[in-house]
Amino acid sequence: MEKNSLVRESIKSVIKKNFSIILLMIFIIFAFVISSLLPPQILRYIIDNNLAPRNNEGLLLLAYLYMGAIFLIGLFDLAKETLLTIIGQKITKEVRMKMMEKLEKINAMFFSKNESGKIVSNFTNDVDAINSMFTSVIIGMIIDCFKIIGVVVSIWLFSVKLGIIAVLLLPIIYYITRFFQKRMLKAQIDNLVSVSKVNNHISESVKNIRMIKLFSKESYMESNYNEYLVDNYETIERVTFYDSIFSPIILVIRSLIIALIVILSSEQLNFLGVSVGMIAASIELISNLFTPIENLGMELQNIQQSISGIYRVNEFYEISEDAKDSVDLTNILGSNNLSLSFNNVTFNYEDDKNVLENIDFKIKPLERITFVGRTGVGKSTLFKLAMGLLKPSKGSITINGINVYNIPNSEKRKIFGYVDQSFPMLSGTVAEQISLKDNSVTFEQVKESLDFVGLTDYIKTLENGYNTEVKKDNLFSQGQKQLLAIARAIVTNPPILLLDEITASLDSITEEKIITVLQKASQNHSILTISHRLSSMISSDKIIILENGKIKNSGTPETLLKSDDWYRNHIELEKLTWN
Ligand SMILES: Nc1ncnc2c1ncn2[C@@H]1O[C@H](COP(=O)(O)OP(=O)(O)OP(=O)(O)O)[C@@H](O)[C@H]1O
């Protein structure tokens, strides 16, 4: 296994912390296996000593003993399942907590390249597979193997010939059950796929109902639905067929074996040379052979899945982490006198294609800079680099000489305020949307920032004011959410504000309101803005024009209006479109 195995580390730590529970579990497992061999032995004794010679002495006690043994099996089974669940949950929790710690340290580039679904599946399906590996699969296999061995040994002790028959039966029962299990499983998987197709079709139809109607796609959707339903019907039939045929087949096999034992031990043949009690006990023991063999087939199949789960979780654990050098932030925290510098920065997501190339500029304290350029030129990427979320392939980005990539995430909020078009809500109150449940943010600061963006009056009209729980997404309009996003960014009074297309989806009145708020904010902050519409941005000291990943031109709006054709044409075009 991998040198850096999260799963192994987690299991070791769970065993260390719960050693007594593990010992108890081992004891219970053995007790469970041994106790399940008791009832046939008691039965044999009853038949040979009481029923065959018609001797009632002590029969009641033996009956109680038999019942007691059955009760004991149940008790051990209960204890075994409880302990397995406890240990399994502890392992799952340990693995998930370690994965969460890892997730927070992983390099941001990883998230650019990997689908979130894959990471979610690492946390859910893969960890569940590991849990079942240790609870049901491995322990289940151990129990089932012991049970099978126990049954064979018990029968062997009655008669060697009967023992040989039991051993010969093992592969036969195994292959017959596997034959059906495999087909049943395949039918079940096909059924799950077809059910999801049927359900997805409904949700897709509802979601796109307008488009379906407008483009007259009703009959197409109906015929697809019909196809999925037929498919679903066929898979259900297959599941039902294997489901219903499996038990009778096993019953028939069991009866045949019993008949064979009875014939072989009949007075005429007396091939086995065993007592009646032994025959009865053997019949019960052989009947007990089926369930562990059936289980073993499934367990062997599941182990494959669980091993892949372990492999994927360990792979997740191997992902490279943010390698940050420690930095002393005392000179920059709390200071407004910060200069952000891009020092010849080149960046690429994929190896062979630079998104940004040789970007070099410096932002003085309290300066307002706007980045413009065609869509996809790399403006948002530049912001992520500025906040140290991405690492440049070449060059560096510094604040007063400190590399932004080395600034710990826990300190970023004190330095940067980032606003984009989205406002992800978290569960909690209105005030908590702003503080983000950060204890270092006071209620006064929350109120001030909401007042700054002009939302105080609206919030006072809400049921519980600042303490109103945000349960639905419709408590605030799009424009109000944008104002909340600004309040969230400025509540810690960060010296650098980064605004990414924040007025793009707003009407002109709301846009004006937000620009006024930002003009006010710009008196205390350096502001970096990305804007498509030059006419709607807050007034800037400097504009940087990006083209093909490089700085094409930069300067004050006035000089660019005179010197840059692209800029002048853009402004002219916007005037034609918007005014
Ligand atoms: N996670 C990513 N992985 C790979 N390529 C990416 C990733 N994010 C962005 N890109 C690519 O990088 C380039 C710059 O994207 P970016 O979002 O920075 O542009 P932008 O100028 O902000 O665009 P827009 O104005 O449309 O928002 C684009 O070609 C984009 O396809």
pLDDT band at 573 (very low <50, low <70, confident <90, very high): confident
As a whole number of angstroms, the distance between CA 577 and CA 579 comes to: 6
- Is there a contact between 202 and 250 (Cβ–Cβ < 8 Å)? no
Residue 358: phi, psi to the nearest 5?
45, 50
What is the 121 CA–ligand 1 centroid distance (Å)? 26
As a whole number of angstroms, the distance between CA 18 and CA 26 comes to: 13
What is the 375 CA–ligand 1 centroid distance (Å)? 8
What is the 485 CA–ligand 1 centroid distance (Å)? 22
The preferred substitution site among 115, 353, 354, 355 for testing ligand 1, maximizing ligand atoms within 8 Å of CB, is 355
> What pLDDT, in 10s, does the model give residues 266-310?
877 777 778 888 888 988 888 888 989 988 888 887 887 788 888
Q: Is the CB of 375 under 6 A from ligand 1?
A: yes
- Is there a contact between 429 and 471 (Cβ–Cβ < 8 Å)? no
What is the 423 CA–ligand 1 centroid distance (Å)? 20
Say if residue 550's pLDDT is above 60. yes
- The count of other CB atoms within 10 Å of the CB of residue 35 is 19
Q: Under DSSP, is residue 439 helix (H, G, I), strand (E, B) or coil?
A: coil
As a whole number of angstroms, the distance between CA 540 and CA 200 comes to: 49
Say if residue 105's pLDDT is above 50. yes
Q: Is the CB of 110 under 6 A from ligand 1?
A: no
What is the 340 CA–ligand 1 centroid distance (Å)? 22
Joined tokens for residue 169? 């039966």
As a whole number of angstroms, the distance between CA 188 and CA 182 comes to: 10
- Is there a contact between 38 and 288 (Cβ–Cβ < 8 Å)? no
- The count of other CB atoms within 10 Å of the CB of residue 401 is 11
* DSSP-assigned letters across all residues of 272-283: S---HHHHHHHH
As a whole number of angstroms, the distance between CA 429 and CA 463 comes to: 11
Q: Is the CB of 136 under 6 A from ligand 1?
A: no
Q: What percent of the chain has pLDDT over 70?
A: 96
What is the 349 CA–ligand 1 centroid distance (Å)? 9
pLDDT band at 398 (very low <50, low <70, confident <90, very high): very high
Say if residue 524's pLDDT is above 80. no
- Is there a contact between 546 and 377 (Cβ–Cβ < 8 Å)? yes
Q: Is the CB of 386 under 6 A from ligand 1?
A: no
Joined tokens for residue 78? 């209960």
Say what the pLDDT of residue 108 is: 76
Joined tokens for residue 402? 């400190």
pLDDT, average across residues 394-398 = 93
Q: Is the CB of 374 under 6 A from ligand 1?
A: no
Q: Is the CB of 377 under 6 A from ligand 1?
A: yes
Question: CA of 252: how far to CAs of 59, 111, 182, in Å?
Answer: 33, 56, 20
The owner of tokens 């497992």 is 29
ipTM metric: 0.96
pLDDT band at 469 (very low <50, low <70, confident <90, very high): confident
- The count of other CB atoms within 10 Å of the CB of residue 188 is 15
Residue 343: phi, psi to the nearest 5?
-105, 90
What is the 491 CA–ligand 1 centroid distance (Å)? 29
> What pLDDT, in 10s, does the model give residues 404-429?
998 888 888 889 999 887 888 888 89
pLDDT band at 2 (very low <50, low <70, confident <90, very high): very low
pLDDT, average across residues 369-377 = 87
pLDDT, average across residues 343-368 = 89
Residue-averaged pLDDT of the chain: 87
Report which listed range, 271-275, 342-346, 544-548, is most confident: 342-346
Give, using CA atoms, the residue closest to atom 2 of ligand 1.
Answer: 112
What is the 504 CA–ligand 1 centroid distance (Å)? 17
Q: How many CA atoms lie within 13 A of 372 on its CB side?
A: 25
Burial label for 304, CB within 10 Å (0-12, 13-18, 19+), is: exposed
Q: Is the CB of 354 under 6 A from ligand 1?
A: no
As a whole number of angstroms, the distance between CA 303 and CA 466 comes to: 52
Directed axis angle between helix 138-158 and helix 160-207, to 10°? Answer: 150
Directed axis angle between helix 276-317 and helix 138-158, to 10°? Answer: 160
Directed axis angle between helix 276-317 and helix 59-105, to 10°? Answer: 10
Four-residue CA torsion sign, 33, 39, 42, 47: negative
pLDDT, average across residues 516-538 = 75
- Is there a contact between 99 and 6 (Cβ–Cβ < 8 Å)? yes
pLDDT, average across residues 300-325 = 83
> What pLDDT, in 10s, does the model give residues 169-210?
999 999 998 898 889 889 988 998 999 899 999 999 999 999
The preferred substitution site among 377, 382, 383, 528 for testing ligand 1, maximizing ligand atoms within 8 Å of CB, is 377
Q: How many CA atoms lie within 13 A of 95 on its CB side?
A: 28
As a whole number of angstroms, the distance between CA 407 and CA 527 comes to: 19
Directed axis angle between helix 59-105 and helix 38-46, to 10°? Answer: 170
Ligand 1 closest atom vs CA 546? 21
- Is there a contact between 274 and 265 (Cβ–Cβ < 8 Å)? yes
Q: Is the CB of 112 under 6 A from ligand 1?
A: yes
Give, using CA atoms, the residue closest to atom 25 of ligand 1.
Answer: 375
Residue 498: phi, psi to the nearest 5?
-120, 120
Say if residue 579's pLDDT is above 50. no
Q: Is the CB of 478 under 6 A from ligand 1?
A: no
Q: Is the CB of 355 under 6 A from ligand 1?
A: yes
What is the 457 CA–ligand 1 centroid distance (Å)? 38
Positions of E strands within 247-364: 340-347, 356-363
pLDDT band at 576 (very low <50, low <70, confident <90, very high): low
Q: Is the CB of 379 under 6 A from ligand 1?
A: yes
Q: What percent of the chain has pLDDT over 90?
A: 35
Kindly report the pTM of this predicted structure.
0.69
The mean-pLDDT minimum among 78-92, 514-528, 539-553, 556-570 falls in: 514-528
Q: Is the CB of 74 under 6 A from ligand 1?
A: no
What is the 13 CA–ligand 1 centroid distance (Å)? 43
The helix (H) or strand (E) run that includes residue 69 is: helix 59-105
Maximal CA-CA distance, the chain: 119
Joined tokens for residue 12? 């070791």
The mean-pLDDT minimum among 222-231, 269-278, 476-485 falls in: 269-278
The preferred substitution site among 109, 346, 349 for testing ligand 1, maximizing ligand atoms within 8 Å of CB, is 349
